[in-house]
């Protein structure tokens, strides 16, 4: 199984994926995890990935262009069984969903 993860903070994900169960799965060639830095697809000289908030409040709003550019590049290189975009209002991740995702080759 190959998992491609697009993130703003790739350094934060290096440690969890290089230890414990995930490390053993990678060592046994059961899982292949690739982390992609969203800033590489950012816009302008400063590789901007955040956009203006509408309605105020704290937090970060991501621009869709860098996300789309990254996903487009990845999908041009391989076919994905599933593309998952995590949002606060999405369906809750549960065991049933995890079981079905475990059968996929590329997510």
Looking up tokens 């290089």 gives: 18
Report the pLDDT value the prediction gives residue 90, as an integer from 0 to 100. Answer: 87
Mean pLDDT of residues grouped by 10 in the chain (107 residues)? 94 88 92 95 94 78 94 96 88 93 94
pLDDT at position 54: 78
Sign of CA dihedral 89, 20, 35, 38: positive
pLDDT in the model for residue 52: 81
pLDDT for 69 equals: 96
**pLDDT value at position 17?**
87
Tokens representing 88?
Answer: 């606060």
Q: What's the confidence (pLDDT) of residue 40?
A: 96
pLDDT, position 15: 86
């Amino acid at each position: 199984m190959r998992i491609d993860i697009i993130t703003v903070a790739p350094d934060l994900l290096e440690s969890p994926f290089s230890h414990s169960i995930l490390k053993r799965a990678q060592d046994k060639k059961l899982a292949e995890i690739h982390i992609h830095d969203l800033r590489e697809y950012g816009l302008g000289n400063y590789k901007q990935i955040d956009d203006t908030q509408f309605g105020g409040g704290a937090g970060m709003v991501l621009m869709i262009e860098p996300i789309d550019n990254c996903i487009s590049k990845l999908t041009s290189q391989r076919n994905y069984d599933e593309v998952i975009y995590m949002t606060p209002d999405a369906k809750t991740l549960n065991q049933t969903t995890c079981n079905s995702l475990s059968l996929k080759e590329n997510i």
